[in-house]
Amino acid sequence: MDFCTVDLGLARVTALQYRAKVRRLPEAVGPEVTPESIRKSLRSVDRGHANNYIKAAKAHHDFKTGNVAEGKSAIAASLGALRLLGKGVKYNVLMAASPDEEIGGVWGIGYLMRDVRLKMDCGVVVDSMPNMVGIGACGRMTGEIKVFGKQGHAGYNYLADNPIPKLARLLVELEGFVKQREQKLSAIDAPPMSPKKKLWGRISFTVIGGGEKENVVPALAWTRFDLRLLPDEEPLEAKSEFLDYFERAKERLGMNAALTFDYEDPGFVTAASTPFVRAFSEAASAVFGQPLPIAASLGGDDGKFLSERGIPVVSYGAIADDTQFHGTDEFVHLSDLEHLRDVLVKLIG
């Protein structure tokens, strides 16, 4: 983890935190990057966006960057803003580039806020969309569903009990709960261009497994899920609703299965009337010539660690809808990068 401070000994001692993340995600699925694709990527900068594929083909290893919309763009814009400002700032500034946000952030910003106990009056999480002022983020629960069978020889499958087809039927049955979650609405606005005006509940089944050898019927099949919590939703209520639906689905299908939860993050929200939210909105308005919508993120971010200490926090960044974040060929629009830098300059300068 890296962080630096700009302390000018101002009479009004105020700390402003940038939070730019560095984290590891699974390798995106896509074509192998070639020298020709590098040249195309470099040429694409002239067309207004910077591709995250920068690959040096060397004798024994390859180097490739990633996470440009969510990570590297935040660091670049934050450093660019501080460089332009120099000493012409109205805040003492702390900038933190932290790891592990994607797995909860406990040993990144969480460590700085809970264990180091950094002191600040307000914070900016540079991990959001460029067309809104973020005042919160959804929480999440993760966990696992296991379906049990009986291991045996695939050639004698009548002597075994294959849990894989059972898991498939269970997932189809749980589509009803997916739709049920989508009907749960928040009082907080969703990001611009979202399919719903307000934040809504979601659950996704994102990992699946069962069996290691083709000629062996496994004893176990499993899936892992990501359930998104609304910032103004009671986590225990969401957990109870899922458990209840699961138990009824399991009974209808007549199978031996279990549901467990292993992670919970309730999300957060900063009141739109907070003076710091108004100050940030004014800075954004000065750059864009008009106010940006105020909304909360459908994903999560590290602002929760500031919020739990009562520190007002907003989120802003360069993660546009079309930048393929968490996907293949993630990129960032240079215009969004410039706007991000300029908003930070207006805020601090």
The answer to whether residues 193 and 208 belong to one domain is yes
Task: Retrieve residue 2's tokens.
Answer: 């890296």
Q: How confident is the model at residue 110 (pLDDT cuts 50, 70, 90)?
A: confident
Out of 219, 245, 265, pick the residue that ends a domain: 265
Q: Are residues 255 and 316 in the same domain?
A: no
Q: Which residues contact 124 (CB under 8 A, 6 or more apart)?
A: 16, 17, 18, 19, 280, 313, 314, 315, 316, 344, 347
pLDDT of 65 higher than 80: no
Residues 129 and 145 in one domain: no
Q: What angle do CA 286, 287, 290 make, to 5 degrees?
A: 65
Mapped onto helix, strand or coil, the DSSP state of residue 144 is: strand
Give the mean pLDDT of 2-23: 46
Task: Give 275-333 pLDDT, tens digit per residue.
Answer: 999 999 999 999 999 999 999 999 888 889 999 999 999 999 887 767 666 666 667 77
Confidence of residue 11 (pLDDT cuts 50, 70, 90): very low
What is the CATH number for 225?
A: 3.30.70.360
Share of residues in the chain with pLDDT > 90 (%): 52
- Is the model's pLDDT at 50 over the cut of 70? no
Residue 37: per-residue pLDDT: 56
The band of 98, judged by pLDDT with boundaries at 50, 70 and 90, is confident
Residue 169 has pLDDT above 70, yes or no: yes
Residue 200 in this model has a pLDDT that exceeds 50: yes
The number of folded domains in the chain is: 2
What mean pLDDT comes out for the span 100-107?
Answer: 67
What is the rounded average pLDDT for all residues in the chain? 81
Read off the pLDDT of residues 134-164 as tens digits, 9 standing for 90 and up: 999 999 999 999 999 999 999 999 999 999 9
User: Which pLDDT score is estimated for 226?
Assistant: 97
Q: What is the pLDDT of residue 326?
A: 66
Which of the listed residues 265, 282, 312 is the one where a domain comes to its end?
265
Where residue 40 falls among pLDDT bands split at 50, 70, 90?
low
CA 330 to CA 125: how far, in whole Å? 20
Full domain range(s) for residue 123: 2-137+268-348
Same domain, 37 and 57: yes
Is the full-model pTM beyond 0.75? yes
The counts of H helices and E strands in the chain are 9, 20
The 3-state DSSP class for residue 110 equals helix
User: What's the confidence (pLDDT) of residue 53?
Assistant: 35
The DSSP line for 208-241 is EE--SSTTEE-SEEEEEEEEEEPTTS-HHHHHHH
What pLDDT was estimated at residue 143? 98
